[in-house]
A and B are shown apart, each in its own frame.
Chain A
Amino acid sequence: MRSLLRIAAALLTIVLASVLVFLALNVLPGDPAAVMLGTEARPDTLAALRRQMGLDQPLPLRWWQWLTGLARGELGTSHTYGVPVAELVAARAVVSLPLALLALLIAVGLGIPAGLFAATRHRRTGDLATMAVALVGLSVPAFWIGILLVLLFAIGLRWLPAGGFPGWGAGIAPGIAALILPAIALGLPQAAVLARVTRTAIVEIMRLDFVRTARSFGLTRTEALRRHALPNALPPIVTVLGLQFSFLLAGAVIVENVFYLPGLGRLVVQSVGGRDLPTLACLVMLLVTAVVAVNLAVDLLLLRLDPRLRHRG
């Protein structure tokens, strides 16, 4: 019941977002037909083009046609490239999706163990050192980390390429190699956030009575942390992970530009620059849907992780 409500709320969010996106792109000043024909156009040509593009129909109807079109996969044609938006997005997604996953992997794989490490050494040297590093990771912007990484690993050590993407056609290994530095640049600040959240959650839970109870059953401090504190620390960690996903998407726009990757982030920047409204509308809706879907997944996961949430009336 509770899960169904959350799913309905998520769908409603997406529909509302589509209204906003549609209004922003269609109602704000600037007639796409007039832009295409230029200032010299004759009024009857303009009217003909408007009819052909469907611009003479009422706004709610145009919105509905656009939305159902999106749902059927009819995303329109890019003004800039003259190819279907669907093809364009698919070609870019195969770069951006692996990049985001790799960055998430780095954030989780580095951040959570670092947070656990710091928590077991609460207020000792190991904790302070880890948290100092995490603070630096938080404060330094991703694009600057990216530039440093290029200087060190691409230009200095010549281990990895400095930018660009060879395409998956060239093989898996060169593709991954091209994504490693951008994924690190994208994932490190998120790892720092996760490390801090994990540490705080664990330290707080280790002080609770039930951890002492678990130790009185015969667990050492470390075992109690693994068996009791970690499962109870997961809800805040998962919540932060869900929020971070949107940061990963937003961060990709910058990092893909630094590393010259042909991903969705760069496509956003390019379509804004080229007034490519069909592509832009589609991209924004894609990002909105992704963020809503991840948050829904987090909500449903939290219901599983914390039994107390399931019973609250």
Chain B
Amino acid sequence: MTGLLEVERLTVRRPGGPPLVREVSFQVARGERLGIVGASGSGKSLTALAIAGLLPDGLTAEGSVRLDGREILDLPEAELARLRGRRIAMVFQEPLTALDPARRIGRQVAEPLAIHGLGTSLERTARAAALLRAVGLPPERASPDSFPHELSGGQRQRVLIAAALAAGPDLLLADEPTTALDLVTQRQILDLLDELVAAKGLALLLVSHDEGVIARMCPHVLVMAGGRIVRAGPAAAPSTAGAVLPPQPPGRADPPALLTASGVSRRYRLPGGATRQAVDGVDLTITPGEAVGLVGSSGSGKSTLVRLLTGLERPDAGVVRLEGRDPAEPAVPRHPVQLVFQDPFDSLDPRWRVGRILAEPLHGLRLDPAERHRRVLAALAEVGLPAEAVGRHPHAFSGGQRQRIAIARALVAHPRLVVLDEPISALDRALQEQVLELLAALRTRHGLAYLLVSHDLDIVRRLCSRVLVMAEGRIVEEGPVGQVLLQPASAAARALLAARLAPPAPSPAPPVAPPKAWDYEP
């Protein structure tokens, strides 16, 4: 049996530079599924992009890529374009930016049909509507006339999948299709892909850093590192690592609270006059040195609560006290609370050098320049970055290094509480480990309190002793992490647990409602 896709000694490089993908060879037969797993920079995404002829500017591919025995690697752009969409389709990682913001989604789904001259204009519109329905977006949920910004990330990924499948391709290249989504949505999208690929008999090449995702979707996996295939074999569920840190802080009798909130509420006005109760009567206490997790699916009000607790916004009702004072008062110093955000690419000013970025929280502290410099260098050393970093701009660093810079910025003002808003979910698995260990070490070293916001219970379990579960603006469950993981009381906690792809052995997964079956039209 000859493969549908045959890749032979594929090498990708910048002209004159070292190869980024080295002599990669593999085959995918018609209807077969193959996963490629590897850390960021391992060359897995470039391999997929090279197959579709979509390498970023300045990169060239050598070797051989054959589709049905026909060499396609050296085809001119116009002929290769005729294959894309029609024979080879792609789904990408970033659903938020992967759709044209100025075009209605129905037209974007129909676009591959229009490009390849399939059907009349009317037929294409009908086909786009049917495809949107098939991916779980019936008109009552998302009209084909809506624009991408009116949809959530998960819905946009469904639109992309519909468009990728529109012109009936034989091969689907999915490059981290669920990495940017929360766990509940991730699971739904994987189910959808699984179902559609099976129904249409598509061949699937699935690229991911997450072995759990690959194991769920593909029987076989290639492991890439440093641009090479280092292992090939059956896909296996990932091992579950143990806790980094003994979760209990040294026991103290009723320590004074560092941060308290009582009856805190916040309501937002929506366009059109309606209002939304984002946070609804939340009470919580964080003691010095305590690590508390705040979990909930997207839209549960976690981010709004963080803004209220850190004084970035005032509550409509209720009281927030940081060491006895209202953090939203301009006169109250802010440095005891620092934030680390999810996206290390967006949270650092690209025009500033690292030294200036790190010195910014010191602004109100009236330190002399020598002391300020000493603190910046100390913070860099804490997160394992060299002192030379102060003179460089953020773009000179990788994603993991940037998150270390963001952590150093949080440490430099010697805070009492660090709020970590999804601090590792933008990083790949290997970097996640390193950053988690760094955060755990810093906490023990400095006696920091953490408020860790996440949708991922496994991360919370490794860093925190206590967890708050949020749903629809309220704290619906609270308790020691182990208890919430093993015996979740609330529906929200059960949904988050069920969304995990590889639950650890001791958790008796309670039955949950199966995901909605999509009314699929073949």
Identify B102's interface contact among A122, A212, A305, A312, CB under 8 A: A305
Known: A217-B115, A313-B269. A231 touches B102 (CB 8 A): yes
Name the B residues within 8 Å of A305 (CB-CB). 102
Flag whether B123 is at the interface (Cβ < 8 A): no
The reply to whether the CB of B246 lies closer than 8 angstroms to some CB of chain A is no
- CB atoms of A311 and B149 under 8 A apart: yes
A228 to B108: give the CA distance in the assembly, Å: 10
B100 contacts A307, C-beta separation under 8 Å: no
Q: CB-CB contacts of B106-137 with A at 8 A, as 1s and 0s?
A: 00000110011000000000000000000000
Give the chain B neighbours of A209 by CB distance below 8 A. 92, 94, 97-98
- Decide yes or no whether B147 CB sits under 8 A from chain A: yes
| Contact digits for B204-222, partner A, Cβ 8 Å, 1 yes 0 no | 0000000000000000000
By beta carbon, the residue of chain A nearest B269 is A313
CB of B86 closer than 8 Å to a CB of A: yes
Cβ contact within 8 Å between B84 and A215: yes
Q: With A and B bound together, what is the CA distance between A210 and B163 in angstroms?
A: 12
B388 contacts chain A at the CB level, 8 A cutoff = no
Q: Which of A55-63, A155-163, A218-226, A289-297 contacts B (4 or more CB under 8 A)?
A: A218-226
Residues 169-221 of A contacting B (Cβ, < 8 Å):
208-210, 212-221
Number of B interface residues at 8 Å Cβ cutoff, please give it. Answer: 37
- Interface check A72, CB cutoff 8 A: no
Q: Considering only CB atoms, which chain A residue lies closest to B163 in the complex?
A: A217
B331 within 8 A of A: no
Contact partners of B116 in chain A: CB under 8 A: 218
What residue in chain B is nearest A122 (Cβ atoms)? Answer: B57
Instruction: Name the interface residues of A82-125: CB closer than 8 Å to any CB of B.
Output: 122
Residue of B nearest to A123 (CB): B57
Expressed in whole angstroms, the Cα–Cα distance for A223 and B115 within the complex equals 10
Stretch at the interface among B75-83, B186-194, B251-259, B374-382: B75-83
* Complex CA distance for A45 and B149, rounded to whole angstroms: 71
**The residue from A210, A219, A306, A313 contacting B270, defined by CB atoms under 8 A apart:** A313
| B164: nearest chain-A partner, CB-CB | A216
- Evaluate whether A221 and B85 lie within 8 angstroms (CB atoms) in the complex, with A215-B54, A232-B102, A308-B147 already known: no
B52 proximal to A (CB < 8 A): yes
Cross-chain contact B92 with A213 (CB below 8 angstroms): yes
- From 56 to 114 in chain B, residues with beta carbon under 8 angstroms from any chain A beta carbon are 57, 77-78, 81-86, 89-90, 92, 94, 97-103, 111-112
Q: Given A209-B94, A216-B89, are A228 and B100 also a contact pair (CB < 8 Å)? A: yes
Contact with B along A237-274 (1 / 0, CB 8 A): 00000000000000000000000000000000000000
> Chain A residues near B166 (CB, 8 Å)?
217
Q: Are B84 and A307 in contact (CB under 8 A)?
A: no
CA distance A228 to B163 in the complex (A): 15
Check if A212 sits within 8 Å of B167, measured CB to CB.
no
Residue in A122, A213, A219 whose beta carbon sits within 8 Å of that of B81 in the complex: A219
Nearest CB of chain B from residue A255's CB, rounded to whole Å? 37
Most chain B CB neighbours (cut-off 10 Å) among A215, A311, A312: A215
CB neighbours (8 Å) of A208 from chain B are: 97
**Does B271 have its Cβ within 8 Å of any Cβ on chain A?**
yes
Q: Is B160's beta carbon under 8 Å from chain A? A: yes
Is B81 touching A210 in the complex (CB atoms < 8 A)? Answer: no
Other-chain residue from A217, A232, A306, A312 in contact with B85 (beta carbon distance below 8 A): A217
Residues in A132-181 with C-beta less than 8 Å from chain B = none
Q: Is B150 part of the binding interface, using a Cβ–Cβ cutoff of 8 Å?
A: yes
Are the C-beta atoms of B112 and A217 separated by less than 8 Å? yes
- List the B residue with the shortest CB-CB distance to A222: B77
- Tell me, in angstroms, the Cα distance from A306 to B102 when the chains sit together: 6
What separation, in Å, do the CA atoms of A113 and B130 have in the docked complex? 39
Chain B residues whose CB sits within 8 angstroms of the CB of A311 once the complex forms = 147, 149-150, 271
Docked-complex contact B101 and A218, CB < 8 angstroms: no
The answer to whether B102 and A218 touch across the interface, beta carbons within 8 angstroms, is: no
Query: Shortest distance in angstroms between B178's beta carbon and chain A's nearest beta carbon?
Result: 16
- CB pair B52–A307 under 8 Å, yes or no, is no
Q: Which residue of A lies closest to B149 (CB)?
A: A308
Of chain A, the residue at the smallest CB distance from B90 is A216
Given A209-B98, A313-B271, decide whether A219 and B149 contact each other with a Cβ distance below 8 A: no
Tell me the complex Cα distance, A11–B270, Å. 29
- Are A220 and B101 in contact, CB atoms less than 8 angstroms apart? no
| Distance in Å: Cβ of A81 to nearest Cβ of chain B | 51
Name 12 extra pairs, CB < 8 A, besides A213-B163, A215-B81, A308-B101. Answer: A208-B97, A209-B97, A209-B98, A210-B98, A210-B101, A212-B92, A216-B84, A216-B89, A216-B164, A218-B85, A218-B167, A311-B150
15 intermolecular pairs with C-beta atoms under 8 Å apart: A208-B97, A209-B92, A209-B97, A210-B97, A213-B163, A214-B100, A216-B52, A217-B167, A218-B85, A218-B116, A218-B167, A232-B101, A305-B102, A306-B101, A307-B102
- Which residues of B are in contact with A by a Cβ distance under 8 Å? 52, 54, 57, 77-78, 81-86, 89-90, 92, 94, 97-103, 111-112, 115-116, 147, 149-150, 160, 163-164, 166-167, 269-271
Chain A residues near B (Cβ < 8 Å): 122, 208-210, 212-221, 223, 228, 231-232, 305-308, 311-313
Q: Which 9 A-B pairs have the closest CB atoms?
A: A218-B85, A313-B271, A216-B90, A217-B85, A209-B97, A217-B112, A218-B115, A307-B147, A220-B81
